[in-house]
Amino acid sequence: MEQHIYSDVAETLYTQTLPNGLRVLVVNKPDYHETYALLATDYGAIDTRYVPVGATKFVQDPAGIAHFLEHKLFEKADHDAFDLFGATGANANAFTSTTRTAYLFSASAQVEKNLTILLDFVQDPYFTDKTVNKEKGIIGQEIQMYQDDPGWRSYVGLLGNLYPHHPASVDVTGTQASIAQITPAMLYQAHARFYHPSNMTLTVVGNCDPEAVLNVVAANQARKQFPAATPIIRGVQPDLDVVDMQQAKTIQLPVVRPKVQVGIKGTQDVDDSAAGVSFQIAARLLLEALFGDSSPLYQKWYDAGLVDDSFDYSYDAQRTFNFVALGGDVSQPQALIAAIKAVIARKSAQPELSQARFDRLKHAALGKYYMSMNSLSGIANALSAQSFAQTNLFDYGRLLQQVTLADVQKAAEQLFNLDAVTSFVIMPSQGGK
Amino acid sequence: MRIELTQGVGLTVVPTKKFKTTRIAIHFLTPLAQADVAARTLLTSVLETSSADYPTQAALSAYLESLFGASFGIGVGKEGHWHRVTAGLTLLNDQFAQENLLQQGVAFLAGVLNRPLLHAGQFDADVFTREQHNLHQYLQSLAEDRQTQANLGLQAVYFDDDPLQATPSFGTPKQLLAVTLNSLLHAYQQMLAQDRIEIVVLGDVAVSDVEKQMQALKFAPRVIASVALPVSGDARPERTKVETAPVNQAKLNLGYRANFALYSPAHYAAIVANELFGGSALSLLFTNVREKASLAYYASSSLDAMRHLVMVQTGIDAQAAPKVTQLIADQLAAVQAGAFSADKLQVIKDGLVANRQTAYDSPRFLARQALLQALLAAQPRELAQYVAGVQAVTKAQVMAQAATFNLEAQYLLTKQPKES
């Protein structure tokens, strides 16, 4: 395997791409009991439109199909993959995001056997009308549960304002109505397209020998037949346009406190090149400088009762879309929205952006980055998410150190655009509790 | 190994080179019967956001940033009959940071705990008013998380004979509004001077060095109250409560009392019985309520050993409540009747062992073990002890222990019936 040594974080990454295209990434952590493995595909909730293998025309799948497929892969004709992992003492799980689906296990023994179980269950789909229909009940419950979570509702509401004509605004789970349309044929078709090894990465972090991992995986893959890899044609297009955004929306729900989310739509594509990652770092430092715990501006808002501990902010950059979200539980939603807009209007001319604060925030970010390496799952998830990119988690420290105050100011000029701002408010309904 | 720094103040140091961090946790413990839990909770908010050295949250946070982004927080919890306030600080370790962060971190904690922001002997009135208001808002909005609401609701029903246990560790909105500047100061002085203190430091550190550095905290000797930790395992009759709220998904929670002595063979049997009943993805609740019957998005059980409480949590369709109740009863009956194979039992035990091994990779878990070992003589010292305890459990012991699981409380959070 290729060996990459990152001396600043005292980690070594081993990588190899198999003949069928599957990427294998391994980090050995001999002090740990656990090994954490993640098999991920570059396929998520936004990928509902694509050209199937061997076809020439686009198909449009129901919303929620990637998540549905994730649930359904565990169940086979005569067993459930959960039980196979469980029989070795391992824990298994899976998750779907807007752009990725990942299957994982955590084991403290029999890593090689669990790797085989993981590869086999993900690569060997089994869907029938009966099992697909049963799953509709389980996922229906999951959808209902999220409907009862007002924090989630406000976040999804914000996405709806930002991306009314882009699938980023559709809940990962889909809706009761959309999942009702899902058939075994659709699932097989999506699996054949997006679960080809060349669209997947296996990331293994923990107490494991990299060569031994590779041998098991290579032998397993050599036993299986896959059609030749063909380029994936996706229907989802970048959405960086402010024209069709909804400016503001308020709904009523049975909540105790009003909730607000303010969004800023990114209008330039941010990819996962070194330049793109550096921009993301600069954008997050910018938000921290303005809205973080040590910000004089945040202190002023906090003292005035405009925000409290529930206030949070994020910058999310995904394939085809990127945006800033700010918000929390508030007493006066409109006052907070106005205050945030006033900050955005200042673009890079922010009193909080001094060289001294910037240096300190960067120092803190570096420390937090090093500290995050305690978590095997954190390392594996980050490596896996960037497995198709030119940089990885272990480059982050170096990229962070190169970011300057000027980069942060440039990020402010690019992101802080009043035309790209929208807000979503949830107000308490009468009689709610 | 626990070191007594002074009477009533213990220090446990866990040296390990495994992590890139050093964790310091200072625990203040007092019997619930003597604790104004709402005042102690408000105190955590006040101390967390201001001190004499760093009078504003911005100043305090800026200092933590200069410590390589150290993460700091103060929280509350319960350990059986005791109330706990914990000030925790996670630092990048000194070897990695190439500076003495541990020393600076201890000095920071000493400042936050010993030198709060006071004016004329009282806490800052503005900070007090703001934090009381924010905490009140937060407590009121807890019901927005329906799972939390159902958990608290079940505990209120289950502990209806024991208000100290029925009340959450952070108190109620009403108790919080009753806190005054005076009672806050009293709670602070009592905590600092009279609480049992247990300090845990985990990381790439030397015991003697840490012991020397902890002198900076200057805690005075104190006499520790003699109140046992565990809550009674004696069975009581069943209670039921139904609450309505505008929800899409109903929540059905059940509480059982299990009877065992902490870390006796019966306790290990309870751990295995709970895992088989609803503690894992291989459990009967998960396979038969969630997967087979397709009735629930989640259905699981957990064991709170210190309180002898086995709690079942489910998220279900409102009209399915009677059916789910019966299914849950059937699963427990299956454990009690021994309707599971030897293989299944072994798989469940292996899963528990694997989880425990994995937990040993978490600095927070290890630091928590160190606290429990300081508080409880029976708490296993080594991973191997726990593993042996679990592996020794027999089918007969699981059945016998499951037979003590006594259903005492049912709590259903459901939607309003449609008006006709």
Same domain, yes or no, for B308 and B185? no
A108 chain-B contacts, CB cut-off 8 A: 353-354, 357-358
User: Which of A204, A222, A240 lies at the terminal end of a domain, its last residue?
Assistant: A222
Is A235 a domain residue? no
Q: Is A370 on the interface with B (CB under 8 A)?
A: yes
A142 touches chain B (CB under 8 A): yes
Task: Find the closest chain B residue to A30 by CA distance.
Answer: B18
Across the interface, which of B68, B282, B361 has its CB nearest the CB of A86? Answer: B282
Residue at A237 is within a domain: no
Structure tokens at B189: 């002085």
Give the whole-angstrom CA distance, residue B36 versus residue B178: 10
Q: B25, B87 in Cβ contact below 8 A?
A: yes
Taking the C-alpha atoms of residue A351 and residue A364, their distance in angstroms, rounded to an integer, is: 20
In this complex, do A371 and B137 lie within 8 Å of one another by their Cβ atoms?
Answer: no
Q: Specify whether A70 is catalytic.
A: yes
The Cα–Cα gap between A38 and A387 comes to: 12
Q: Evaluate whether residue B326 is within a structural domain.
A: yes
Q: pLDDT per residue over B201-256, tens digit each?
A: 999 999 999 999 999 999 999 999 888 888 887 888 999 999 999 998 899 999 99
Of B69, B141, B361, the CB nearest to A365: B69
Please measure the distance between the N-terminal and C-terminal CA atoms of chain B and give it in whole angstroms. Answer: 67
User: Which parts of B275-420 fold into alpha helices (H)?
Assistant: 284, 321-337, 342-359, 363-375, 383-391, 395-404
Are A367 and B97 in contact (CB < 8 Å)? yes
Q: Do B175 and B249 fall into the same domain?
A: no
Same-domain check for residues A215 and A270: no
CA-nearest of A235, A309, A48 to B46 is A309
Closest CB from A34, A309, A360 relative to B134 = A309
The count of structural domains within chain A is 2
Domain identity same for B252 and B180: no
Residue of B358, B364, B414 to mutate for A, most A C-beta atoms under 10 A:
B358
Establish if B256 belongs to a structural domain. yes
- Whether residue B225 lies inside any domain: the answer is no
Widest pairwise Cα distance in chain B: 74
- Provide the domain count of chain B: 2
In this structure, the answer to whether residues B91 and B208 fall within a common structural domain is yes
Report the b/e string of A368-385 with b at 16+ CB within 10 A.
Answer: bbbbbbbbbeebbbbbbb
Strand-pairing partners, residue A26, are A14, A204
Same domain, A89 and A193: yes
Q: How far is CA A54 from CA A65, A192, B336, B378, in A?
A: 20, 10, 55, 65
Domain assignment present for residue A242? The answer is no
* CATH (domain of B39): 3.30.830.10
pTM: 0.94
Residues of chain A neighbouring B246 (CB-CB closer than 8 A): 254, 429, 432-433
The distance of B343 to chain A (nearest Cα, Å) reads 9
Sorted by sequence, the CB contacts under 8 Å of residue A263 that are 6+ apart come out as A158, A159, A161, A162, A323, A324, A325, A326, A421, A422, A423, A424
Please check whether residue A227 lies inside any domain of the structure.
Answer: no
Does residue A261 sit in the same domain as residue A119? no
> Where do we find the tokens 């910058």?
A315
- A214 shares its domain with A256: no
* Residue in B140, B249, B352 to test binding to A, most A beta-carbons within 10 Å: B249
B55 lies in the same domain as B123: yes
What is the extent of the structural domain holding B26?
A: 2-217
- Closest chain B residue to A137, measured at CA: B294
What's the CA gap between B27 and B201, in Å, rounded? 11
3-state secondary structure of B67: coil
For B65, which of A86, A363, A433 is closest by C-beta distance?
A363
In terms of domains, do A60 and A140 share one?
yes
Q: Same structural domain for residues B277 and B340?
A: yes
SS3 of chain A: the string is CEEEEECCCCEEEEEEECCCCCEEEEEECCCCCCEEEEEEECCCCCCCEECCCCCCCCEECCCCHHHHHHHHHCECCCCEHHHHHHHCCCEEEEEECCCCEEEEEEECCCHHHHHHHHHHHHHCCCCCHHHHHHHHHHHHHHHHHHHCCHHHHHHHHHHHHHCCCCHHHCCCCCCHHHHHCCCHHHHHHHHHHHCCHHHEEEEEEECCCHHHHHHHHHHHHHCCCCCCCCCCCECCCCCCCCCCCCCEEEEEECCCCCEEEEEEECCCCCCCCHHHHHHHHHHHHHHHHHHCCCCHHHHHHHHCCCCCCCCEEEEEEECCEEEEEEEEECCCHHHHHHHHHHHHHCCCCCCCCCHHHHHHHHHHHHHHHHHHCCCHHHHHHHHHHCCCCCCCHHHHHHHHHHCCHHHHHHHHHHHCCHHHEEEEEEEECCCCC
- Residue window 274-333, chain A: list those with CB within 8 Å of chain B: 292-296, 298-299, 302-303, 305, 308-310, 329, 331
Closest residue of B to A258, CA-based?
B141
Scan residues 17-36 of A and list those with Cβ closer than 8 Å to B.
31-34
Cross-strand pairs, A60: A49
Same domain, A171 and A303: no
Q: Is B21 close to A150, i.e. CB distance below 8 A? A: no
Residue A274 lies in a domain: yes
Asked if the Cβ–Cβ distance from A433 to B246 is below 8 Å, we say yes
Q: Long-range contacts: B290-294, Cβ < 8 Å, 24+? A: B290/A138, B291/A80, B291/A138, B293/B323, B293/B327, B294/A134, B294/A135, B294/A137, B294/A138
| Nearest residue of chain A to residue B59 (CA atoms) | A294
Tell me the C-alpha distance between B418 and B420, whole Å. 6
Tell me, yes or no, whether B20 and B127 share the same domain. yes
Residue A147 at interface with chain B, using a CB cutoff of 8 Å? yes
Shared domain check, B253 and B207: no
Per-block mean pLDDT, blocks of 10 residues, chain A (433 long):
92 96 96 96 97 97 97 94 91 95 96 97 97 88 86 95 95 94 98 98 97 97 96 96 94 94 97 93 98 97 95 96 97 97 98 96 96 94 87 92 97 98 94 48
Q: Give the pair of three-digit tokens for residue B140.
A: 């009121």
Residue B419 covered by a domain: no
Query: A51: which residues sit within 8 A by CB, 6+ positions away?
Result: A57, A58, A59, A193, A233, A235
**Same-domain check for residues A31 and A108:** yes
Which CATH number covers residue A57?
3.30.830.10
pLDDT of residue B91: 97
- Do residues A352 and A296 lie in contact, with contact meaning Cβ atoms separated by under 8 Å? yes
Residue A141 Cα distances to A149, A195, B171, B279, B315, angstroms: 13, 27, 32, 20, 8
Question: A167, A48 in Cβ contact below 8 A?
Answer: yes
Chain A positions in Cβ-Cβ contact with residue B65 (cut-off 8 Å):
294, 360-361, 363-364
Q: Are residues A207 and A307 in the same domain?
A: no
In a domain, B227, yes or no: no
Tokens linked to A361 = 């925030």
Last residue of a domain, one of A188, A222, A256: A222
**Same-domain status, B202 and B302:** no
- Which chain A residues are Cβ-neighbours of B315 within 8 angstroms? 141, 145
> DSSP 3-state assignment of B233?
coil
Do B295 and B152 sit in the same domain of this protein?
no
Residues 6+ apart with CB under 8 A from A221: A18, A19, A20, A22, A119, A197
* Distance in angstroms (rounded) separating the CA atoms of residues B405 and A24: 47
| Residue B232 within a domain | no
Instruction: Specify the residue for token string 């990695």.
Output: B96
pLDDT in tens, chain B (420 residues): 899 999 999 999 999 999 999 999 999 999 999 999 999 999 999 999 999 999 999 999 999 999 999 999 999 999 999 999 999 999 999 988 999 999 999 999 999 999 999 999 999 999 999 999 999 999 999 989 999 999 999 999 999 999 999 999 999 999 999 999 999 999 999 999 999 999 999 999 999 999 999 999 999 999 998 888 888 878 889 999 999 999 988 999 999 999 999 999 999 999 999 999 999 988 999 988 876 666 777 899 999 999 999 999 999 888 889 999 999 999 999 999 999 999 999 999 999 999 999 999 999 999 999 999 999 989 998 999 999 999 999 999 999 999 999 999 999 999 987 654
Please report the number of interchain residue pairs, chain A to chain B, with beta-carbon separation below 8 angstroms.
Answer: 166
Interface of A with B in 112-131 (CB under 8 A): none
Contacts of B66 in chain A (CB under 8 A): 360, 363-364
Scan residues 373-412 of A and list those with Cβ closer than 8 Å to B: 373-374, 376
Last residue of a domain, one of B182, B217, B252: B217
What pLDDT does residue B418 have? 65
User: In B, which residues are within 8 Å of A151 by CB distance?
Assistant: 144
| Assembly ipTM | 0.92
Residue B132 near residue A134, CB atoms below 8 Å: no
pLDDT at position A336: 98
Written as six digits, the tokens of A399 are 């990229």
Residue A158 sits in which domain range? 2-222
Q: Measured between alpha carbons, how far is B206 from B100 in angstroms, rounded to an integer?
A: 13
Q: Is residue B233 part of a domain?
A: no
Shared domain check, B257 and B202: no
Task: Tell whether B301 and B195 lie within a shared domain.
Answer: no
Q: B126-170: per-residue pLDDT in tens?
A: 999 999 999 999 999 998 999 999 999 999 999 999 999 999 999
Q: Which residues of A touch B350 (CB under 8 A)?
A: 88-89
Nearest CA in chain A to B20: A371
% of chain B beyond a pLDDT of 70? 98
What is the rounded distance in angstroms from the CA atom of residue B164 to the CA atom of residue B170?
11
Of A108, A134, A149, the CB nearest to B357: A108
Residue B420: inside a domain: no
**Taking CB atoms and an 8 Å cutoff, what residues of chain B touch A309?**
134, 138
Residues A317 and A381 in one domain: yes
Check if A88 contacts B (Cβ < 8 Å).
yes
A2, A11, A34, A70: the active-site residue:
A70
Comparing alpha-carbon positions, the chain A residue that sits nearest to B250 is A145
Query: Reduced to 3 states, what is the DSSP secondary structure of residue B275?
Result: helix
**Mind giving me the DSSP string for B235-274?**
----EEEEEE-S-SSEEEEEEEE----TTSHHHHHHHHHH
